[in-house]
Amino acid sequence: MTAKTRIQISSNIVRLKIFGSLYLILSINTLTYAAPSGFNYDESKVPKYKLLDPGASITKSSEWPKKKTEFLKLIEEQMFGKAPEFDKKKLEVTSQKKEKIILGGQAILTQPSLHFAGSELTLLIVRPAKTTSPVPAFVGYNFNGNHTVHSDPSIQLPKGWVPRTKDKRAREKDRGSSSSRWDIKSIISQGYALITAYCGDVDPDFHDNFKNGVHSSFGKPAPNEWGTIAAWAWGLSRILDYSEIEPSIDAKRVSVIGHSRLGKTSLWAGASDGRFALVISNNSGCGGAALSKRRFGETINRINTSFPHWFCGNFKAYNNKEESLPFDQHILLSLIAPRPLYIASAEGDRWADPRGEFLSAKGAHRIYKLLGTEGLPCKEMPEVNQPVHGKIGYHIRSGKHDITSYDWQNYIKFANKHLKNISQ
């Protein structure tokens, strides 16, 4: 144990200080993550701030595309970073010829691999077995490898770096370890496919000075060029490229989804690639759906210090200077309009600022209304476990930072409402 590590014991609770103000709390029965201390969790201490009106000086919907382009460029240059252009004709695909029947005959599992920018991205696709027509799909990354999504022994293990293991390599014993986050049975039963891939196959989630993953084919990015989150979003667009040539998938009805840091990714993917039909952010917090200017829970300085590779270099100019940020996350959400957008929070996830996530969705409502949609169908934050489903959907559920079957049930219901009338 290092000199900086401290243990505090009180009653049945052990508080282990492992880094700065980050603690692990251990009790006799549970092991839970504790949000770092020293950050604001008091609404009365939220600083006064003013949000930019995305619809200022706009009186008709035809004026929005020009403004949208300006906002997109601003957020790209100051936050996520510009990704390189890609000619989808250069996407190479290799496929396992053998399909596997799973879930008692209800689903078909396939594992094609995409080759681009010197990287290999293996997809795990689970689609309904009892249909011959193209099906809509949910597309999103997993954190630790496709083998953690489902326990089937045929699912390939990642070949490269993975987090949360002793030697940073995938392990057989972790098969199905994250299956609770992927309600595959409900997805399949409602006629959807699930397409997932390991985010680390696109860019490993550690600060490697951009020497690995897709960055290795383009060199170290300039201050206004792509960080890891933009690289992940770029990879999601390559999956969408593939879905356009995959006969079993209806590429015009693909929903992009992500949890936590991958929720930040899904928002940027949806904002920067208009082909995604529906966008879902689950507990995305700072740098995702939550308003930065509130300085509630995680802050820009904290996220850029802990994860210096996620955003572009220019974003670090706003460390401890949120008031100087020329936009906020409601502008990011506005870029998705008029496509359906779902923002979800968790009551126990104060680090991700649930109220800030709701207020961001509320801030995007103006553009959704301008473009002739319902937008967010409430003015006040709804009660816990009382979802609202307009063209912007929102819920805050009981529980902690996670993605659960409750979340998936709402996402599927929301997709059923909004994707049904989109023609192939």
Known active-site residue 272: no
Structure tokens at 367: 């553009």
Structure tokens at 408: 């998936």
- Nearest by Cα to 156 from 95, 186, 111, 201: 111
Round to whole Å and give the CA distance between 240 and 249: 10
- Nearest by Cα to 80 from 203, 176, 193, 197: 203
To the nearest 10 degrees (0 to 180), the angle between helices 64-75 and 261-272 is 140
Determine which one of 309, 330, 401, 418 is catalytic: 401
Q: What is the largest CA-CA distance in the chain?
A: 63
Structure tokens at 278: 């529906």
Round to whole Å and give the CA distance between 67 and 58: 9
Contacts of residue 154, Cβ cutoff 8 Å, sequence gap at least 6: 100, 109, 111
Known active-site residue 260: yes
Tell me the DSSP string of 200-220.
GGTS-SS--TT-SGGGGGT-S
Contacts of residue 118, Cβ cutoff 8 Å, sequence gap at least 6: 214, 216, 217
Determine which one of 237, 248, 255, 260 is catalytic: 260
Q: Which residues are catalytic?
A: 260, 401
